[in-house]
Amino acid sequence: MGSRTYEEVISERPDFAANETAILEYWNTHSCFERSIELSLGKPAFNFYDGPPFATGLPHYGHILTGAIKDVVTRYAHQTGHHVERKFGWDCHGLPVEYEIDQKLGVRSRNDVIEKIGIANYNEECRGIVMKYQTEWKSTVERMGRWIDFDNGYKTMDLSFMESVWWVFGQLFEKGLVYKDFKVMPFSTACSTPLSNFEAGQNYKDVSDPSIIVSFPLRLSTEASPAETAAIARFNATELQLITGSEFLAWTTTPWTLPANMGLTVHPELEYGLFQVMETGRKFWVAELLAPQVLAQLKLTKTKSATKTKSATKTKSASKTKDKESVRKETTPGKQMDTSAVVAVDVPKYSWLLRGVLGARLSGLCYEPMYDCFSRKSYWSGRAWRVMVDGYVTAESGTGIVHCAPAFGEDDARVALLYGVIEKGGESPCHVDDGGCLIEPVDETLLGLHVKDADKVIRSELKIRGRLLFDGSIVHSYPHCYRSETPLIYKAVPSWFVNVERLKDKLIINNQETRWIPPHIQVKRFHNWLADSRDWCVSRNRFWGTPIPLWVSEDGKIIKCITSREELEACTGKCINDLHRHFIDQLTIPDPRNNETEKYPPLHRVDEVFDCWFESGSMPYGSKHYPFENKENFEKSFPADFVGEGLDQTRGWFYTLSVISCALFGSAPFKNLIVNGLVLAQDGKKMSKRLKNYPPPDEIFSKYGADALRLYLINSPVLKAESLRFTEDGVKDICKNILLPWYHSTRFLCQEITRYELSIGKRFIPYHLDQLTTGGLTTGGLTTRELTTGEHDDDDDDDELNELDYWIISKVNSLVSYVTAEMNNYRLYTSCHQLLQFMDQLTNWYIRLNRERMRGGGGSNPLISLSVLYHVLFILTTLMAPFTPFMSEYLYQQLKIINSDNNVMDSIHHLMFPKVKEELINQRLEEKISSLQNIIILGRQLRDRKHISMKQCLKQIIIMSGKYELIKEFQTSSSFQKYIKQELNTLQILFKLENDHIKLSALPNLRLLATKYGNKLATLGPAIKKLTHQQLCQLENNGSIPIDPQIILLPEDLLINRTPVGFNDDDKTAVECASDVVMVADLEQTQELKQKYYCREIVNKLQKLRKEAGLKVEDNENIAFIKSEILIDLEEMLKSTFKRELKIIQTQPSLPILAQAEIELDDNSIVNIFICSK
C-alpha cells in the first residue's frame, strides 16, 4: 500500500485561530449550517427565542457569552434529533437609536424635532443608522462559531413585526388591561420621555447630591379652615402659646422640588418633639428619635464633602422602584444624618418645650409656603401647605418630617391625592419641563435653569432667607438613563399603562412552572420582582418606534384601538405601507357617534409610541407575523423550549416576555431559561472602551481562537449568574490545559497509526468496539476475534483489552450518560466541567499509561489500544461539538481520514449525539482506577515535597491501608503494580494490610452535620473529637458507627485525618498520607538506581534532539550516538529505553550530524549525544 502519514495534516504546533478560519471557509463552502437544517426536516421542533440586540453598538463579551450559550444549546438540540430554526433578530426602535440621532442633529427638546427637523426627517435619520454595525455583528457572531440565519431574521421596524405588536396591544386593550393615567414616573430629561420602573433599575450609579435641612414656619390663621381649626383644637392654650412661631424641619436631597412643595407628611404614631434652641430662641419640630443628630447639625456649615451614605427619608429617587434588598440598603437606620459627617462641631444648646406629640395631632396644621409661585393661584388655597400623615414616613433617617411635592414623588402624589391636595387626573403643580428645566410660575431667578443647576441657586436663596439650616452633601446610589447616562428625575406625566398588578398572581404561578438555570434566580430574584411588580408604563413621548394604535375623540370619550394594517386602511380609506409615525399621524378616523343630526370631529391618534421593551416582549409573535401568518406553526411551537440572556434581563426581556404571554394566553412564554452573570474587566469594573480595561474580542479571536474563549466563558462562574472578571490569561490557560492536550491526543493517535501502518504495510482499520458486552467487561475481556469484523488477521486473536481499555470505555460511557442528563436539564456548566475532567483522564492517564503499548512496546500488538483510543476520541469529539465547534470539526476531519466509510458526514455537526451503552459502564472498575490514580498522585506529592526528580528511580515504595479490598486489588493486579512502578519510577512496590502505622483522628463536618442534626451539633462536635482510632477504623470498615441511640454517623459526616506512626520522615525515608493510605518511600540511592536515572536523562534529551532535527515518527534513516567512556556498560539499557538505533562511541561520529547536545550528569561527568543521518 502507499505510505500515508498524518503529520502533514495535523501539525505539531497548531495555530488554533488559523485552523478556525479554515473551518469557517469549509462550513461556507459546504453549506454545513444550511445542510444541518435540511437534514433535520421532519424531526420534532425545538423552539428558541433569540433576544434582539441593537445594531447601533458593537458586540461585546456579554453578547459573545449569551451567543455561545445559545449556540451550545441549539447545537445540542440538533444533535439530539430536533429541527432547530435559528434566526437572528434586531431591535431597531427606541432610545438607543434616537439618542444617537439627537447627538448628531443637536436635538435639545421635543420641539426641536417637531418644529425644526420634522418627524419624517427625524425618523428617516433613525432608520438610516439602525443597522449601522450589522456587518460587524455578523462577522463577530460567525467568527465565534455560532450557527444562525441572518438572511431570514426579523427586525422590530419591519411592517410585519409592527403589525403583530398592534395585534398584541389590541388583545390587551380588549381585555381591559390598558389604561391612561397621570402618574409620577422615572423620567429622562436628556431623552424627554418617561421610562418604565424596570428601565430605571438598569443603571444605578453612586453620585453626590445636596443634603439639606430646611424649615417651614407654622401658620396659625385667624381664618382657619375646618381641618386647620380641628388641628388647632388638639392643643390647649399653653401648648398653643408654645407652638406659636415654631417651624417644621424637613430634609431633602432634591432642593429643585421645593418650589412645588404642597405639604409636609409625618407618621401618625411617631412621637415628635418641639425643641427651642437657647442661642436663637427658634423652635423646631423634629421626630424625637432623630432629634439629637438633627439638632447637633443645625447651625453647622463645615461638612465632609460627599459623605457616603445610602438613602433618605425623602429622596426624589428610584428607591421606590428598586428591589427590596436595595431599598433596605438605602434605609439603614441612622445613616442619613450620620454625625460623623460633621467637622468642628459646636452643638447648640436646646430645651424641650413639648414631648411625645404623636404625628396624628399635627395633622391639619398649616405652614408658610416655601415659595409663592403656586400660592398665587387660588386653586391651591385651602388644599395645600398643611401637615398630612402617612405610614411611609420613618424615623430611620432625616427629620421624620417629609417634604411633599406631588408632581415629583410617587408617595407624595398618593398622599396628596388622599388629602385632596390634587385630584385624580387633574392638575399637579409642576414647574419642570420635559428637558428638565424650570418653567413658569417660578421666579425669574430660577426660570430656565436645569434642575441640577437650580439646586445651587435655591440653596443660596434659602440661606439668605434663614430657611436653610443644614447644607451638606450625600453620596448615594441613584438611577440614571440607560441611554444618555444622565440622572433621572421623577415627574408626573400622562402615560399609557398595562395593568400588571391584575396579572400578578398568574405571573407568579407561571414562573413556578418554568425551569431556570441557576434556579435561585427564579425562586428569589425573579419571584420577588414579580411579587412587587407594578403597572407597566408602555408609552414613550418619542418618535422612532411603533406608534400606539389608539385613535381618540376630542372629548376623550371614544377610543378606537386598531389591531392591523387592514383595519387601519378600512377605517381611513388610505393604503398603508409603513406604520411609523410620519406615515400615519395625519390619518383620522370618523367618530362613530356621527349621525344625520350630530357631527363630531374625527378621531386622532395619540401622540406616543411604544416602549421598545413592549416590542421586544412581543418578539415571539412579531418574528412570526402572528396571527396574520404562521398561525398553526406558532401555536404548535409556543411556548419556547429555551431562552437565554444576562442577569439584567430578569427586569427586562424575561419580564416583558412573561407579562405579555400571561396577558395573551395565561401561560409562561418559555419552558427553560439560562441566566448568565456579568462579564467584568479584570479589575472588577465595568468594561470600558474609554478606559481600555479589556482586550478587544477580535484580538482574542486572532490570538487564541473562538473555542478557547467559548470554553473559558462557559466553564466559569458566569454560567451560575455570578460575575466573571475577564482575564486574557484565563483564555490562554484554556488553550494550554485543554485544547492543546486534546489536539495532541489526536495527533498522537495519527502518529501511532502511521507507525503501525508503516510497520505492517497495511491500512489501519479500527475494531468495532460497539460489540463489547457487560460480560466481556466483568470476566476479564474479549479477544480480538470477538471484536473484529473479519478484516483482521487471526494472528491477533490472543490480544485482549486490558483493564485501562475497559476503564476508559466505561468512563466515556459514564460521560455520555452524565452529559446527556445534564444537558437535558440545561446545566451547561456541569456538563462542560465534566467533559474537561474526562479530557484529563484521557490524556494524562489512559494515553500516558498506555503510550508504549500503543507503540507496540514489549512485543504487544498496538491495534487494540489504538482502536480503543480512536473510538474514545471520536465519542469525546462528538460530545464536545456543541461547546467547541471549530476544534471538534477540525479533529473530526482527521478522524474521518482514519476510518472513512460510506456513511460519513461532511460535518461533525451533522452527527447525532452519542448514545450511552449502559452495559459498558463498570462502576467498580472506575473506582479501582480512581484508587490507582490517588496512589500515583500521592507519590508525586511525596517527590515534590522532597524535591526528588521523577527521573530519579526509587528503591522501594510501601503502600499501607486498613482497607482490605483496596490492598487485595493491588496485591493481585500485576498491571496496577506495573503502572505504579512506571509512574512513580521505583524498583519495588509493596502493599500491606495494616493500621499499625496509621493513627486516625476526626473532626466534625460542620456544614453537613448542621443540616442533619441542627441543635444537636453543640454536643456532637466534642463527641466526634473523642472518637478513638479503633472506632474510626470500625466506621471505615462498616460504613457507619452509632454515637448515641438516635445518631448514627456515616463517613461523610466526619473529616478524618491520618497520621503516620513508626516512620521518620528524613533524608532516607519519606512518608505521605492520603484519605485511605499511607505511603513510605525508601530514598537511598544505589549505583543501579543512578544508572537508571542517567538512562532516562539521556533518552529524554535524545527525543528532544529528534524534534529539533525535524524528524517524524516514521523517520528511521538516522542513528543516535553517545560519546562517553563511563556509559559503555549501559548500552543495552539505553537501547531498550530509546527503542531506536543507538551506539556508544569514544570519538566524534563520522556521519552527518543533524543535532547534538552536551549533558552534565550529577557526578560532573560530561556526555555528548548526536543524531546523525545514515
Looking up residue 252, the CATH number of its domain turns out to be: 3.90.740.10
341: which residues sit within 8 A by CB, 6+ positions away? 303, 304, 307, 472
Distance (Å, rounded) from C-alpha 533 to C-alpha 43? 40
* Choice between 971 and 287, residue whose per-residue pLDDT is larger: 287
- Which cell numbers hold the place of 769? 468496539
Does the residue 198 lie in any domain? no
Q: Which pLDDT does position 1052 carry in this prediction? A: 86
Residue 879 belongs to a domain with what CATH number? 1.10.730.10
pLDDT band at 900, cuts 50/70/90?
Answer: low
Q: Are residues 1116 and 1064 in the same domain?
A: no
141: which residues sit within 8 A by CB, 6+ positions away? 59, 67, 88, 148, 150
Q: Are residues 955 and 893 in the same domain?
A: no
pLDDT band at 691, cuts 50/70/90?
Answer: confident
Predicted confidence (pLDDT) at residue 792 exceeds the cutoff of 70: no
| High-pLDDT (> 90) share of the chain, % | 51
Residue 493: closest CA among 187, 182, 260, 179: 182
Find cell 441511640 and name the residue: 1045
Predicted confidence (pLDDT) at residue 427 exceeds the cutoff of 80: no
CA angle 772, 774, 780 (to 5 degrees): 85
Distance (Å, rounded) from C-alpha 601 to C-alpha 898? 81
Q: What is the pTM of this model?
A: 0.81
Helix ranges, 527-666 (H): 527-531, 565-572, 581-584, 612-617, 619-622, 631-637, 653-665
Predicted confidence (pLDDT) at residue 76 exceeds the cutoff of 70: yes
Q: Are residues 711 and 820 in the same domain?
A: yes
pLDDT band at 1044, cuts 50/70/90?
Answer: confident
Residue 472: closest CA among 339, 290, 285: 339
Predicted confidence (pLDDT) at residue 787 exceeds the cutoff of 90: no
Beta strands (DSSP E) in 100-253 are 149-155, 178-188, 193-194, 204-219, 246-252
Does the residue 505 lie in any domain? no
CA dihedral (836, 840, 841, 847) in degrees, to 10, reads 130
Q: Which domain holds residue 1141?
A: 1087-1173
pLDDT one-digit tens code per residue, 653-676:
999 999 999 999 999 999 999 999
Residue finishing a domain among 1032, 1059, 1082:
1082
Q: At what angle are helices 653-665 and 504-512 packed, to 10 degrees?
A: 110
pLDDT one-digit tens code per residue, 89-130:
999 998 889 988 988 998 888 888 999 999 999 999 999 998
pLDDT band at 902, cuts 50/70/90?
Answer: low
Which of the residue ranges 67-71, 396-400, 547-551 would you say has the lowest mean pLDDT? 396-400
Mean pLDDT of the chain: 85
Predicted confidence (pLDDT) at residue 332 exceeds the cutoff of 50: no
- Which cell numbers hold the place of 158? 419591519
HEC-encoded secondary structure of 334-367? CCCCCHHHECCCCCCCEEEEEEEEEHHHHCCCEE
Q: Which pLDDT does position 588 carry in this prediction? A: 95
Does the residue 638 lie in any domain? no
Does the residue 621 lie in any domain? no
DSSP one-letter string for 254-273 = -GGGGGG--EEEE-TTSEEE
**Could you report how far apart the first and last alpha carbons of the chain are, in Å?**
25
Which of the residue ranges 211-215, 257-261, 990-994, 1160-1164 would you say has the lowest mean pLDDT? 1160-1164
Residue 1074, amino acid: A
Distances (CA, A) of 1145 to 984, 1109, 1170, 1172: 32, 21, 11, 13
Distance (Å, rounded) from C-alpha 155 to C-alpha 1032? 68
pLDDT band at 770, cuts 50/70/90?
Answer: low
Q: Are residues 739 and 839 in the same domain?
A: yes
Q: Are residues 355 and 254 in the same domain?
A: yes
Q: Which pLDDT does position 1125 carry in this prediction? A: 63
* Choice between 222 and 495, residue whose per-residue pLDDT is larger: 495
Phi, psi of 581 (to 5 degrees): -55, -45
- CB contact at 8 A, 803 and 864: no
Q: Are residues 1071 and 1095 in the same domain?
A: no
Beta bridge partners of 218: 367
Sheet (strand 489-498) strand order: 193-194, 178-188, 489-498, 536-537
Phi, psi of 862 (to 5 degrees): -75, -5
Distance of CA 262 to the CA centre of its chain: 45
DSSP one-letter string for 604-620 = EE-S-EE-HHHHHHTHH
Distance (Å, rounded) from C-alpha 952 to C-alpha 1089? 7
- pLDDT (mean) for 79-88: 94
Q: Are residues 713 and 834 in the same domain?
A: yes
- pLDDT (mean) for 826-849: 94
Q: Are residues 693 and 840 in the same domain?
A: yes
pLDDT one-digit tens code per residue, 721-768:
999 999 999 999 999 999 999 999 999 999 889 888 888 888 888 877
Residue 840: closest CA among 739, 938, 917, 979: 739
- CB contact at 8 A, 290 and 280: no
pLDDT band at 1002, cuts 50/70/90?
Answer: confident
Q: Which pLDDT does position 1 carry in this prediction? A: 33
Q: Which pLDDT does position 6 carry in this prediction? A: 52
- pLDDT (mean) for 60-69: 93
DSSP one-letter string for 1106-1130 = HHHTT--TT--SEEEEEE-SS-GGG
Q: Are residues 1092 and 1054 in the same domain?
A: no
Q: Which pLDDT does position 778 carry in this prediction? A: 34
Distance (Å, rounded) from C-alpha 504 to C-alpha 802? 62
- Which cell numbers hold the place of 601? 370631529
CA angle 1115, 1120, 1125 (to 5 degrees): 175
Does the residue 693 lie in any domain? yes
- Which cell numbers hold the place of 993? 494490610
Return left, alpha or beta for 227; rule: phi > 0 is left, psi -120 to 50 is alpha, else beta: alpha
* Choice between 554 and 348, residue whose per-residue pLDDT is larger: 554
CA angle 1098, 1102, 1107 (to 5 degrees): 150
* Choice between 405 and 899, residue whose per-residue pLDDT is larger: 405
Does the residue 335 lie in any domain? no
Distance of CA 995 to the CA centre of its chain: 49
Q: Which pLDDT does position 577 carry in this prediction? A: 94
Beta bridge partners of 285: 248, 274
Q: Are residues 1042 and 1112 in the same domain?
A: no
Which range among 373-377, 873-877, 979-983 has the greatest average pLDDT? 873-877
Residue finishing a domain among 479, 514, 529:
479
Residue finishing a domain among 1059, 1082, 1105:
1082
pLDDT one-digit tens code per residue, 581-613:
999 999 999 999 998 888 899 999 999 999 999
- pLDDT (mean) for 156-170: 97
3-state secondary structure of 37: helix
Predicted confidence (pLDDT) at residue 501 exceeds the cutoff of 60: yes
Q: Are residues 1056 and 1102 in the same domain?
A: no
pLDDT band at 434, cuts 50/70/90?
Answer: confident
- CB contact at 8 A, 698 and 140: yes
Q: Which pLDDT does position 306 carry in this prediction? A: 32
Q: Are residues 812 and 859 in the same domain?
A: yes
Q: Which pLDDT does position 789 carry in this prediction? A: 34
Q: Which pLDDT does position 1022 carry in this prediction? A: 85
DSSP H or E stretch at residue 1143 = strand 1142-1145
pLDDT one-digit tens code per residue, 699-712:
999 999 999 999 99
Beta bridge partners of 13: none
pLDDT one-digit tens code per residue, 346-378:
446 788 899 999 999 999 999 999 998 887 666
| High-pLDDT (> 70) share of the chain, % | 89
Count of domains forming the chain:
4
Predicted confidence (pLDDT) at residue 301 exceeds the cutoff of 50: no
Does the residue 1101 lie in any domain? yes
Does the residue 326 lie in any domain? no
965: which residues sit within 8 A by CB, 6+ positions away? none
Predicted confidence (pLDDT) at residue 324 exceeds the cutoff of 70: no
DSSP H or E stretch at residue 495 = strand 489-498
pLDDT band at 305, cuts 50/70/90?
Answer: very low
pLDDT band at 1005, cuts 50/70/90?
Answer: confident
Q: Which pLDDT does position 222 carry in this prediction? A: 65
